[in-house]
Structure 1
Amino acid sequence: MKTLSEIHIRDPFILPVKEEGEGVYYLYGTTGKTAWSGQPSGFNVYRSRDLVNWDGPAPAFRPDDDFWSDHHYWAPEVHHYGNHYYMLASFKAEGISRATQILIAEHPQGPFRPHGQGPVTPADWECLDGTLFLDDAGSPWMVFCREWLQVTDGEMYAVRLTAELDGTIGEPQLLFHASEAPWSVGSPKGEYVTDGPFLHRLEDGGLVMLWSSQGSQGYAMGLARSQSGSIAGPWTQDAEPLFAKDGGHGMLFRDFSDRLLLTIHTPNSHPDERPVIIEVKEENRTLVIRDQGDEYLHR
């Protein structure tokens, strides 16, 4: 058994699953040891019944010898859609643009295998952090980032997916640039980061997006809002970040007591990054962190 402080991952994603009447939480993330260098073995998964004690790691994805990517295995997230579990993750190879690939499995623990004919982001774009979103009609979309490394001012896009999640329909739609957020801080060269989108439907029907960038106190996470309540937007940015100091790439989930919880990694510095869980609430059409300072629910 491990606590979160003993699990070295970035970009945490937690999937609650009911199994034979019992609740199990599955935790995925970027393996800290090979986040920036070295050849990763794949993606792992941890299991917990209480969000405190975690079993693992167990192998969730191990690439075959002919898999197209060999480094920078980043930000896996897993969704139950239809009769399968789908993993969306970022991958890179020498001479091939960073891209989001969708993988498929029959169980949240895997084994996951590549789905479709390859990446679902444009072949000549440097992209990362694809996340799944279902619109009001139940149609699947992927929201993803186009990297500042290629476009300077990082961009956020949405693209329709096929019903089988094995390809895209139409062209990606630009949602916003990173510099549109008042809290996002650019480099001296005017470079702005877009990272880690995750969409959440508020209790009143409003649609918000968590996403991360550099802030005045380091890596940070803010909220964008769709003024139409749909993926098309237009999207506006909250003036202040939701999490301001050296942490981000977050997602929301509800535990089996229906508490709304946020998981992020903090700090952002390697090799100290670890997942934490923070309780949040909806208040006045926004999200409010219940815990203050370093008083996390679990870490």
Structure 2
Amino acid sequence: MKKVTITLWICILLPVTLLAQSPRTTVRKDVPLDSIVLSDPFILADKNTATYYMTGTGGMLWKSRNLKTWEGPYAVTKTDPGSWMGPRPRIWAAELHQYQGKYYYFGTFTNTSIKIDTVQGNVIDRRASHVLVSDAPGGPYVPMKDSTYLPPGKPTLDGTFWIDTDKKPYLVYCHEWLQNWNGTVEKIELKPDLSGTIGEGKVLFRASDSPWSKEKDKNGNIIFNKVTDGPFLFRTKTGRLGMIWTSWVYNVYTQGVAYSAGGKLDGPWIHEKEPITPPNFGHGMLFNTLDGRLLMVLHSHEEINGRYHRVPHLFNADVSGDKLVLGAPYIP
């Protein structure tokens, strides 16, 4: 796991670092989806503009009318350089959500100049899930009232949005395994206008709860994989609450699914025994196309000359029954 982990961080952070050092990015047009290098893709299908907006790690935005060809990348965030994020934060796993007439940018922001902890030799940067807002899907996305959504000494990532059965909004996120050595997926209530959080976070499940994610310890024993990554929530047509999330099976990037036995965020969460995606695909989300088709977008994962190469892909998906069923690749 140590070798995989070191490679993972180098390959993810390098392109994000380069992007942060190059604020002027050339916008390209008519770019095929499979020509875009992007981790953690998220697509908002916006009916108001009849446009698809895609973002992910790196924090840039792509636009499309047909899912086939795209225009971008656009810089859409305007963070406060005087905040904990610093002047040029790294951005991971950005999501776009429309809510009560506005558009919200759920992202993971990292300030590498601030160190918050050292665990088992790993120095941990200041990193947290945070929410920005805009009046338009294309941004700009700017900070709201609260300067901090989650505890500053706790590295959190991959925040997503959910309205639970109590009709309250929640931020669902991961507490990074680098600190707790057994990654978690947690929830915290958001203020009604999403401008901050209320109360404290609650653990929904731990990496060790998964029957399919695994790794080997230093003695070669098979143990649970520590990583929790990319949660995304959905409901089936029967009303069942599910969550896709990503981890590893040894060195294979993999996505699984869990279902809430209680039908609420509080669970308890029961994990399917087998992954839901093909090997080396993960960090997915579900969206309805402008003509009503349910798709999953996620990225493929390939190691080339010691670096990870990740590209968005579309799959048909079905939640008409009691479970999420992943279909064949979707070709726009």
Superposed pair shares fold, TM > 0.5: yes
Where in structure 2 are the equivalents of 1:39-188 lying within 5 Å?
43-69=59-85, 70-93=88-111, 94-96=114-116, 97-188=126-217
Residue ranges of structure 1 left out of the alignment (5+ in a row): 32-42
User: Separation in 2 of the partners of 1:275 and 1:138?
Assistant: 32
Tell whether the 8 Å contact from 2:245 to 2:284 is kept in structure 1 after alignment.
yes
Q: Which residue of 1 aligns with 2:266?
A: 232
Task: Decide which moves more: 122-131 or 189-198.
Answer: 189-198
Q: Which residue of 2 aligns with 1:2?
A: 31
Aligned length: 282
User: Separation in 1 of the partners of 2:206 and 2:145?
Assistant: 29
- Superposed CA deviations along residues 122-179 of structure 1, whole A, max 9, x for unmatched, are 2211110110101134210111101110111111101111101112112211111112
- Does residue 294 of structure 2 align to residue 289 of structure 1? no
Q: Which residue of 1 aligns with 2:57?
A: 30
User: Separation in 2 of the partners of 1:67 and 1:24?
Assistant: 32
User: Separation in 1 of the partners of 2:301 and 2:146?
Assistant: 36
Tell whether the 8 Å contact from 1:4 to 1:298 is kept in structure 2 after alignment.
no
- Does residue 214 of structure 2 align to residue 196 of structure 1? no
User: Separation in 2 of the partners of 1:187 and 1:113?
Assistant: 43
Tell whether the 8 Å contact from 1:183 to 1:239 is kept in structure 2 after alignment.
yes
* Secondary structure at the counterpart of residue 31 of structure 2: coil
Tell whether the 8 Å contact from 2:236 to 2:320 is kept in structure 1 after alignment.
no
In structure 1, which of residues 222, 227, 231 is the aligned counterpart of residue 256 of structure 2? 222
- Superposed CA deviations along residues 236-268 of structure 1, whole A, max 9, x for unmatched, are 100001114112111000112211100001115
Q: Which residue of 2 aligns with 1:265?
A: 299
Task: Decide which moves more: 154-163 or 180-189.
Answer: 180-189
Tell whether the 8 Å contact from 2:56 to 2:94 is kept in structure 1 after alignment.
yes
* Secondary structure at the counterpart of residue 256 of structure 1: coil
TM-score for the superposition, normalised by structure 1: 0.89
Q: What is the root-mean-square deviation of aligned Cα atoms in Å?
A: 1.8
Tell whether the 8 Å contact from 1:183 to 1:216 is kept in structure 2 after alignment.
no
Tell whether the 8 Å contact from 1:247 to 1:268 is kept in structure 2 after alignment.
no
Tell whether the 8 Å contact from 2:230 to 2:284 is kept in structure 1 after alignment.
yes
CA separation of 1:113 and 1:187: change in aligned 2, threshold 3 A: farther
Tell whether the 8 Å contact from 1:196 to 1:212 is kept in structure 2 after alignment.
yes
User: Separation in 2 of the partners of 1:275 and 1:154?
Assistant: 25
CA separation of 1:126 and 1:260: change in aligned 2, threshold 3 A: same
Q: Which residue of 2 aligns with 1:279?
A: 316
TM-score for the superposition, normalised by structure 2: 0.80
User: Separation in 2 of the partners of 1:108 and 1:243?
Assistant: 29
* Secondary structure at the counterpart of residue 309 of structure 2: coil
- Superposed CA deviations along residues 88-107 of structure 1, whole A, max 9, x for unmatched, are 10011122531011101010
Q: Which residue of 1 aligns with 2:279?
A: 245
CA separation of 1:16 and 1:246: change in aligned 2, threshold 3 A: same
Task: Decide which moves more: 59-68 or 79-88.
Answer: 59-68
Q: Which amino acid aligns with 1:84?
A: K
Tell whether the 8 Å contact from 1:100 to 1:119 is kept in structure 2 after alignment.
no
Deviation, structure 1 residue 5 = 1.7
Q: Which amino acid aligns with 1:103?
A: L
Tell whether the 8 Å contact from 1:59 to 1:109 is kept in structure 2 after alignment.
no
Q: Which amino acid aligns with 2:93?
A: A
What percentage of aligned pairs have identical amino acids?
36
CA separation of 1:277 and 1:3: change in aligned 2, threshold 3 A: same
Task: Decide which moves more: 235-244 or 262-271.
Answer: 262-271
CA separation of 1:223 and 1:213: change in aligned 2, threshold 3 A: same
- Bigger Rg, which one: 2
The structure whose residues are more often helix, as a share, is 2
User: Separation in 1 of the partners of 2:93 and 2:139?
Assistant: 16
Tell whether the 8 Å contact from 2:237 to 2:321 is kept in structure 1 after alignment.
no
Deviation, structure 1 residue 116 = 2.5
User: Separation in 1 of the partners of 2:216 and 2:200?
Assistant: 30
User: Separation in 2 of the partners of 1:214 and 1:48?
Assistant: 31
* Secondary structure at the counterpart of residue 179 of structure 2: helix
User: Separation in 2 of the partners of 1:186 and 1:192?
Assistant: 8
* Secondary structure at the counterpart of residue 34 of structure 2: helix
* Secondary structure at the counterpart of residue 290 of structure 2: coil
Tell whether the 8 Å contact from 2:300 to 2:311 is kept in structure 1 after alignment.
yes
Q: Which amino acid aligns with 2:290?
A: F
- Superposed CA deviations along residues 196-235 of structure 1, whole A, max 9, x for unmatched, are 0000011000000010000256011111110010111111
